[in-house]
Structure 1
């Protein structure tokens, strides 16, 4: 194992350009290569401090991979690299129309159990939420590419709302399957 550099960005670690769109195949390939290099068996006879560094570096690689492979954490990380804190991002204004849409989607989710055929409605709702998420991915990418950090942060806030709604919808779907 080469000497780990904990100061490099996640993009540098995986030798990827610093941008929202990520080559997930290349990301996965480098991740698997790093995991092979860091496998505990390779350090079984190494000194304790070398074993400890390998474990720490492995944790660093795992965290970097988790952040870069998912769009929302990747977007938040890109903003962090530009100097925006999580607090600054969450303070970004989102338009009232978006908030009203979120309330309407949440109401639909809450009434799902009362419907005669919730599966069809839920499938449609999950599709709608997923499409909205993709729309805000594009919104983020455009704003970030044009260095409009407030608009990029606003897109992140919208993605956070929608990801939470999608998780709730998937939980309801799971509950319905169990019943």
Structure 2
């Protein structure tokens, strides 16, 4: 029932918006035809490691993520392009456009697309998702792994101490620390990208744990009102 309603919407949208928007709508219709199949194959607790790209969040955005997830596709993605494709999908999934379909069903589809976008748009959540696809989810005990980069962990602890010791008026020091943290985040993201490209899940997992630490410090700077 949902697919038939979307199919009807697809042709209405094409007729109203003309050829340029019709091409975009056709892309989204192609994505929508795979949503139900994705749900049948997707389990939040332990996704299969050998999933076809159409059975992952990557399959919902074929224009932006045509190559699929790493290692066939790159880890770094064009977030602006992803956002444009996301907005088009959400426009087609909006409950008000489904006159003959349960608004609850349409709302679920919209929420599902939103979940996929929010997962893929940031490097940390994207890395965590990619690890889950390979049955390599990060567990609490992983953060205590002795094989983690000791130098990076020491640097993280030192930055935390310097932040705690800085006074609210010491803007110059806090700004410098934030700039250093931003650089560490970029370096960590690049190491994660290389690890996934090389299919090195062990390194990808360790660097994702470190990225989580760096992002936590970044959030602390946000709370202090220190601009990035």
TM-score where L is the length of structure 1: 0.86
> Is the aligned partner of 1:111 residue 2:158?
no
Seen in structure 2, the aligned counterparts of structure 1 residues 107 and 170 have a Cα distance that, compared at 3 Å, is same
CA RMSD in angstroms, aligned pairs only: 1.9
TM-score where L is the length of structure 2: 0.69
Q: Distance in 1 between matches of 2:101 and 2:123?
A: 38
Quote the offset at 1:170 in angstroms.
Answer: 1.7
Q: Which consecutive segments of 4 or more residues in structure 1 shift more than 6 A? A: none
> Is the aligned partner of 1:94 residue 2:148?
yes
- Unpaired runs of 5+ in structure 1? 175-179
Q: What is the aligned partner in structure 1 of residue 79 from structure 2?
A: 24
Indicate the structure with greater helix content. 1
Quote the offset at 1:113 in angstroms.
Answer: 2.0
Q: What is the aligned partner in structure 2 of residue 136 from structure 1?
A: 188
Give the conservation status (yes or no) of the 8 Å contact 1:35–1:58.
yes
Q: Distance in 2 between matches of 1:47 and 1:139?
A: 46
Q: How many residues align?
A: 169
Q: Alignment partner of 1:86: what SS? A: coil
Q: Distance in 2 between matches of 1:165 and 1:111?
A: 14
Q: Distance in 1 between matches of 2:216 and 2:86?
A: 27
Seen in structure 2, the aligned counterparts of structure 1 residues 13 and 135 have a Cα distance that, compared at 3 Å, is same
Give the conservation status (yes or no) of the 8 Å contact 1:122–1:173.
no
Q: Distance in 2 between matches of 1:154 and 1:111?
A: 29
Q: Distance in 1 between matches of 2:134 and 2:144?
A: 16
Deviation per CA, 1:35-67, whole angstroms, max 9, x where unpaired?
A: 100112112x3243xx22211111111111011
- Unpaired runs of 5+ in structure 2? 1-5, 7-31, 42-54
Q: What is the aligned partner in structure 2 of residue 11 from structure 1?
A: 58
Q: Distance in 2 between matches of 1:169 and 1:23?
A: 26
Q: Distance in 2 between matches of 1:97 and 1:33?
A: 44
Quote the offset at 1:86 in angstroms.
Answer: 2.7
Quote the offset at 1:135 in angstroms.
Answer: 0.3
Quote the offset at 1:173 in angstroms.
Answer: 2.3
Q: Distance in 1 between matches of 2:124 and 2:225?
A: 22
> Is the aligned partner of 1:159 residue 2:211?
yes
Q: Distance in 2 between matches of 1:163 and 1:123?
A: 16
> Is the aligned partner of 1:59 residue 2:114?
no
Seen in structure 2, the aligned counterparts of structure 1 residues 32 and 89 have a Cα distance that, compared at 3 Å, is farther
> Is the aligned partner of 1:80 residue 2:132?
yes
